[in-house]
Amino acid sequence: MAQMTGSGVPIAYDDLGEGDPALLLLTGWCSNRGRWADVAELASRRRRVVSFEWRGHGDSRAAPGDFGVEEMVADALAVVDTGGIGSFVPCAASHSGWVAIELRRRLPERVPKLVHLDWMLVEPPRPYMDVIRQLQLADGWPAARDTLFRIWQADVDSAQIRGALDAMNEHGADMWMRSGRVIEASYLEHGSPLDALAALEPAPPTLHLYGQPQSEEYLEAQHRFAGSHPWFQVRRLDVRSHFAMIEAPHEVAEAIEAFVSS
C-alpha cells in the first residue's frame, strides 16, 4: 500500500501488475478497496491494476470538509498522475460510475473504455429514490442504510460480503447522508447514467456487469439501449448480491479482460 497527496488529501492505493491500459478500480460510497481485492489480484496477472480509496474511506485520510463527485474526480486524477498512468480504464462500482464518466469526459484520449459494476443505469424507480432521500435524513439514514444492506446481501451467506458490509457500517451519519445527497444530485443533473454516457462525445465503449436488480424489465431496458447505441454492452451475471466482484471474482475479471483487450 502507498499513499499520495496530489489531491490535497493523502489517498491510499495498491498498484499491481504491468500492462496498458491499466485498470483503475473505483469503490462505491462507504466502501473500501477490499471490495475489489480478489478481482485486483486476478486481473493483475495480465495488466496493471490500481485500486484506491476515496478521501474519508478506508486507509485514506479524512476529508477536510464536505465533498462530492468533483473532489472524488480530483482523488482519482491524483492517483493517476502520481502513478504515472497513461491509458487507463475506470472500473467503477455502483455510484462511483459518475466519477468514471467524468474522467472519460475530461481525458478522452487516456480513457478508451469504461466498465461499470452493479449500478442503477436507467432512471431510478421511485422506491429506490425514496430510500436515497431517506438516507439524507438525520433520523432516517440508519433505517435506509439497513434497507440497502438487506437488498444488497440478498441472503447470500458469504464471509466476504459480510466483511464488505461491516466496513460500510463503520461509517456514520456524515458519510451516509453525504452519499444520499450526492447520488440524488447526480440523477437530478443527468437523468440517468445511460443519458450521461450518451451525452459524451464520442461515447466510449462501455460494459455493464451486474447481478441486481434481477428483473427482466431492467435487463431488457439495457438491451434496448444497446440496440440503438452499439458502443454499450450489458451482461447480467449469475449472482444474487449487489457485490458481483466479490461473489464471482473470476467471472468479473475474465469479462473485464475480454472487454478491455478486444
209 closest CA partner among 190, 224, 222:
222
Is 229 one of the annotated active-site residues of the chain? Answer: no
User: In whole angstroms, what is the distance from residue 100 CA to residue 115 CA?
Assistant: 8
Q: Are 85 and 24 in contact (CB under 8 A)?
A: yes
Alpha carbons 60 and 202: distance in angstroms, whole number: 34
* 8-state DSSP, 95: G
> Of the residues 116, 208, 242, 250, which is catalytic?
242
Three cell numbers, residue 174: 456524515
Amino acid at 178: R
Report residue 188: phi and psi, to 5°.
Answer: -65, -35
**On the CB side of 195, how many CA atoms lie within 13 Å of its CA?**
11
CA distance 66 to 86: 30
User: Which residues are part of the catalytic machinery?
Assistant: 242
